[in-house]
Chains A and B, each alone.
Chain A
Amino acid sequence: MMTGLEITNLKVGYSRNEVIHGLDIKVNPGEKVALLGANGAGKSTVLRTISGLLNPTEGSITFNGEEIGGSNPATLVDMGIIQVPEGRRVFPGLNVEDNLKVANYGKSPDLLEEGLETVYRKFPILEERRKQAAGLLSGGQQQMLSLSRAIIAKPKLLLIDEMSLGLAPLLVKDFYEQLADLFSEDVTLLLVEQNAGLALKYCSRFYVLRNGELVLEANSEDYKDNPTALQSAYLGVD
């Protein structure tokens, strides 16, 4: 049953306080949706809960009809739910190619060949540095590597936290335009993006989060020419 990602009444908290207070989000199969909001609004927390790094205190998360809230991250990766974490999380001691191979863990080697080809075509610098320790890459190159791991992992549901972090504008644009090419046509995408302009340009719908609550759900079309309205939703000015 292909129903995409469905989140109902999600509540998440860290040790002391609740951060997400009852959230409903739906991303249809093959749809590209952005999660926007000010710093500290809870966007990363939502992604981390979907990918199993955090457990929900209440509510349900289903992917294609299957309940996944609170599941083991490893199980979720096997299901094709892949997260690109915030802030360049590469394995600094492994070389570039080994970092990519890790993403193919448990899958057929043939898939790796194919994935590596796509990655090296997209980011030639990674091929040039394939035997170099990932920790020696520049910040932006590490982000490329982090994204490349997601390409290799062949996601069905892709969660990207801050994809444009530290990347040159030219690359960001490129990457967005070739999403369909780099991943499969029907990849379902939920991304957190600080650059609202970009998010609106490449995602069909978006949600705005403020202090752990949804304050706006809209089609990008309606806001493309009206950035001020979006700004006020962000900051809570009416």
Chain B
Amino acid sequence: MSTDNQQAQTALERAKIPLPRFLKKNHYFGFLGILLVYLLAGTYSAYSLTIMSTIIFAIIGASLIVVFGMAGQLTLGHTIFVAGGVFLSANITMEWSRGLETELPIAFAAMFILGLIVGFPSLRVNELYLALATFAVAFVGVQVLFEWEQFTGGGSGKPVGKLEFFGREFSRGPTLVRIALIIMLFTFWVVGNFQDGRTGRAWNALRTSETAARASGLPVAWLKILCFAIGGGLAALGGVLYAHTLRFAIPENYGVNLSIIVVLALIIGGKHRLMGAVLGAAYVKWLPELSRDVQEYEGLIYGGTLIILTLIAPDGLVGMFEWAAERIKSYKKSQDGEDLDSKIAASNTTPLKSEYLSSIGSDTSRGHLVVNNAAVAFGGVKAVDDVSFEIPAGAVTGLIGSNGAGKTTLFNAITGHVKGATGEFILDGKSVSGKPIHIRALAGIGRTFQNLNLHDDLNVLEHALIGLDRTTNYSRISESFRLPWVLREEKKAHFIAAELLDHMDLLEYWDEKVEDLPYGLQKRVDVVRALASNPGILLLDEPAAGLPTAEALEMMQKVQEYAKHISAGVLIIEHNVELVADVSERIIVLDAGKTIADGTPEEVTRNEQVIAAYLGT
């Protein structure tokens, strides 16, 4: 490949970033696997009960991937959705004499709505406390089932009616396995589509840092509730199948025990991949089949496996296979003599290729920010004390001051990250005072964090895509079915992300997890995420900390270039005064929460008060 050739290519092509497609390689494997079981379903009728429960567990596992794997909400109350599916199925078949065509949609819809309610505690509590709260939900859930005799038949349970679809009756056995496989295919398709789309990305983002997710304009509260609703709806489909497999619905089966087993199975299999749901289901369902002895020591074996896995493979069985595959791949690469570092031609400091990016540039300058009487107090300490300033559209302004002067707190007041800030904040004529963080982000306030608020286990490209969520335009419903315009929008986002990474010299690291990158590069990823959100004004909190001056200058030039391209204003906190003076048209100096100077870099650096309080001689 000649250099000219590389110039002509887009960043996407040069970095060989795979584009979102309708069908991917693992889709084919998945289809093939399901097709195989479909065709062989009749031959192993002796095992059809085990096969059925494996499929059901895989479906429940997939629904848990949404809640736990992606959104990171550890729930121990997931069985109530399964139970909901089971008893709705029993009632619909017995009382209404209707078939699957009614059971499936009603079970999904009802449990979707229940999920909206069960999801509420997640807004208040996290991790262990959420696990406890949802554990209580499971506990209460099963009690309700016992008491609500009309619906569940109480302790003695309720029989399940015929397996029908639009009046056509099916025999159970292999046919039921085939029906289950089709429902599993549907569930996996939907969950897989979320994994590849903006909602899945948003869930992954909030799992690792809610604060940063909000700053990127993601509606964290809604996303959390939504994951319970979607997960609940999908789990209910598994419940319907459960009802037809057991033919009898007994409340006792759907207690906290089952809740824990389904979570356990998913953790053993691997909670980030659909394959993990399958492996986990197979593990807990087929192991007891091996011998009676295994059944006796079930708890011991699952518990032991879990302990061993958390020690050696936190990502479960799937994680183990992926690790092995990666080992083989990198070994092959080293055998081929391919240099890992030079996989991408050095980004030859080309100017910003705006023709590729025109889609997000806007015509007029933005970022006219007015701050009136901003004040923040922590206890008795006034961190920000009546600060007012106005930044004209498109300007680069520096914000300096001694440690603890209130610079970061002022940022937090503008973005909404600090509670109890008073004063008025107006961006481009619209007041954002008192609004939640993500609303301000959507209004055009972008920011980076002093203390690196990245999504640790996501890669560099995904960070850019999270930033781009604000400008990506498709509904979650079309996302769940991977409709054509979803792919079109995704391709556009990938394209812009790659160009932006190229511009910021991060392209060669696009598939590295950010936690593996050196500090300085992580800071740059933070900047990229903020730039990608196409902000009207970008608040940079010490973006160059940890960078040598020359590198910092180069980076700031690139940021400025890009900001100019999208007509954004920049407000920058930085202790490298040389750097601030170089890039800013104007500098504001804070000391003990008050503005002590405001002017051009020359004026400010010569100001005696600033020298005494901050610069030194």
Contact = CB atoms under 8 A, between A and B. Distances in A.
A122 B549 CA distance: 27
B450 interface: yes
Nearest to A43: B518
Given A138-B408, A170-B616, A196-B548, A40 B521 contact: yes
Contacts of A170: 402, 613-616
Contact of B545 (A16, A166, A171): A166
Given A40-B518, A87-B452, A170-B615, A194 B542 contact: no
Contact of A139 (B450, B552, B577): B450
B39 interface: no
Interface in A168-221: 168-171, 173-174, 194-196
Contacts of A141: 403-404
Nearest to A36: B548
A120 interface: no
Contact of B548 (A86, A88, A136, A194): A194
A166 B450 contact: yes
A167 B520 CA distance: 17
B546 interface: yes
Interface in B401-455: 401-409, 450-452
B330 interface: yes
Contacts of B8: none
Contact of B616 (A140, A144, A173): A173
Contact of A17 (B340, B402, B518): B340
Nearest to A17: B340
Contacts of A173: 616
B22 interface: no
Given A125-B404, A138-B403, A162-B546, A169 B616 contact: yes
B403 A144 contact: yes
A174 B402 CA distance: 13
Interface in B534-562: 542, 545-552
B575 interface: yes
A138 B575 CA distance: 14
Interface residues of A, number: 37
B246 to A, nearest CB: 47
Nearest to B449: A139
Contacts of B378: 136
A231 interface: yes
Contacts of A86: 519, 546
Contacts of B549: 194-196
Given A39-B520, A88-B451, A169-B614, A139 B548 contact: no
A44 interface: yes
Given A87-B546, A166-B575, A170-B614, A138 B519 contact: no
A235 interface: yes
Nearest to B541: A139
A11 B480 CA distance: 49
A168 B402 contact: yes
A38 interface: yes
B519 A168 contact: no
Contacts of A167: 403, 575
Nearest to A86: B519
B320 to A, nearest CB: 15
Contacts of A195: 548-549, 576
A139 B615 contact: no
Contacts of B542: 139, 166
B614 A168 contact: yes
A193 to B, nearest CB: 9
A137 B403 CA distance: 10
B101 interface: no
Nearest to A165: B545
Interface in A109-143: 125, 136-141, 143
A144 B519 CA distance: 19
A169 B577 contact: yes
Contacts of B546: 39, 86-87, 162, 165, 194
Nearest to B383: A138
B338 interface: no
B65 to A, nearest CB: 26
B289 interface: no
Interface in B382-407: 401-407
Nearest to B517: A40
B402 A139 contact: no
B335 to A, nearest CB: 15
A14 interface: yes
B516 interface: yes
Given A87-B451, A144-B403, A165-B546, A39 B408 contact: no
A235 B401 CA distance: 31
Nearest to A40: B518
A40 B519 CA distance: 8
A36 to B, nearest CB: 8
**Which of A44, A194, A196, A234 is packed against the most chain B CB atoms within 10 Å?**
A194
B614 A139 contact: no
Given A166-B575, A168-B614, A38 B402 contact: no
A234 B548 contact: yes
B545 A44 contact: no
A169 B615 contact: yes
Contacts of B401: 168
A39 B518 contact: yes
Interface string B256-274: 0000000000000000000
**Which of A17, A138, A164, A231 is packed against the most chain B CB atoms within 10 Å?**
A138
A196 to B, nearest CB: 7
A166 B519 CA distance: 14
B547 A39 contact: yes
Contacts of B521: 39-40
B457 to A, nearest CB: 15
Contacts of A87: 451-452, 519, 546
A12 B571 CA distance: 40
A231 B613 CA distance: 31
Interface of B: 330, 340, 378, 401-409, 450-452, 516, 518-521, 542, 545-552, 575-577, 613-616
Interface of A: 14, 16-17, 36, 38-40, 44, 86-88, 125, 136-141, 143-144, 162, 164-171, 173-174, 194-196, 231, 234-235
23 contacts: A16-B330, A38-B548, A38-B551, A39-B519, A39-B546, A39-B547, A39-B551, A44-B519, A86-B546, A87-B452, A125-B403, A125-B404, A138-B403, A138-B407, A139-B451, A140-B402, A141-B404, A144-B403, A168-B402, A168-B403, A170-B615, A174-B616, A195-B548
Given A44-B519, A166-B450, A168-B402, 16 more contacts: A36-B548, A38-B548, A40-B520, A86-B546, A87-B519, A88-B451, A139-B451, A164-B575, A166-B575, A167-B403, A168-B403, A168-B614, A170-B614, A170-B616, A171-B403, A231-B550
